């Protein structure tokens, strides 16, 4: 007879082993940045650099002597406009714009931006869209330059309803306690990131501005 103590220990160990194997399988296609090229004289603008992926990115860039600008509230168009005014007063060019900031909020909370947009739509997509347009002249001045949009493989679960971008129907479902496992607001915003990247890359083809989207993979942050 197997003791209850053995079973109690075996279950957590099996879970840990399974997670380790899953990570190893997923990491087959991952790559690690090993370059230490000095970035002195290069200006990077990173949204969401006060924590998580953005913070670690900023730290890595600072070690390589890059100039960093990070403070911004994407939930307000007015804040974005004021931020851009400050950036243009302090920098004559932007070499790399990293649209990294993001929020994950339970839909049942029904949070909105200052302009009244559903919070994931407003912060994760529209805020970055607006910021990118306002900084385009500085990016063109720095060519060859780059725009990086941090998305997620959860974009594959996005289903955008252009008749209900603010997700009123899904929010009511969430308030009733019947919400599914994945947050449709977040998933949709990540799909919008991918669409934005593709459209912007087509628009800027030949301009000297490279546009990419990326999934950061498994990362332990304050969002997840």
Active site members: 186
Q: Classify burial at 80, counting beta carbons within 10 Å of its beta carbon; exposed 0-12, middle 13-18, buried 19 or more.
A: buried
Place of tokens 């957590």: 12
What's the gap between Cα 135 and its chain centre?
18
CA distance 146 to 64: 17
């Amino acid at each position: 007879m197997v003791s209850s103590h053995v079973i109690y220990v075996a279950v957590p160990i099996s879970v840990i082993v399974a997670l380790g194997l899953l990570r190893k399988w997923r990491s087959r296609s991952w790559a690690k940045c090993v370059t230490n090229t000095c970035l002195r004289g290069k200006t990077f603008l990173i949204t969401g650099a006060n924590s998580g992926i953005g913070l670690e990115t900023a730290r890595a860039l600072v070690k390589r002597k890059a100039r960093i600008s990070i403070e911004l509230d994407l939930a307000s168009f007015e804040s974005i406009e004021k931020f851009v005014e400050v950036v243009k007063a302090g920098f004559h060019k932007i070499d790399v714009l990293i649209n990294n900031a993001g929020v994950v909020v339970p839909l049942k909370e029904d949070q909105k931006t200052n302009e009244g947009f559903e919070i994931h739509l407003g912060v994760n997509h529209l805020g970055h869209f607006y910021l990118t347009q306002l900084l385009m002249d500085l990016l063109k001045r720095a060519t060859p330059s780059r725009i990086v949009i941090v998305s997620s493989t959860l974009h594959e679960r996005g289903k955008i309803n252009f008749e209900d971008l603010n997700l009123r129907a899904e929010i009511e479902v969430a308030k009733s306690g019947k919400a599914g496992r994945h947050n449709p607001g977040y998933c949709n915003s990540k799909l919008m990131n991918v669409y934005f990247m593709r459209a912007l890359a087509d628009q800027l083809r030949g301009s000297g501005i490279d546009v990419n989207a990326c999934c950061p993979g498994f990362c332990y942050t304050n969002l997840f």
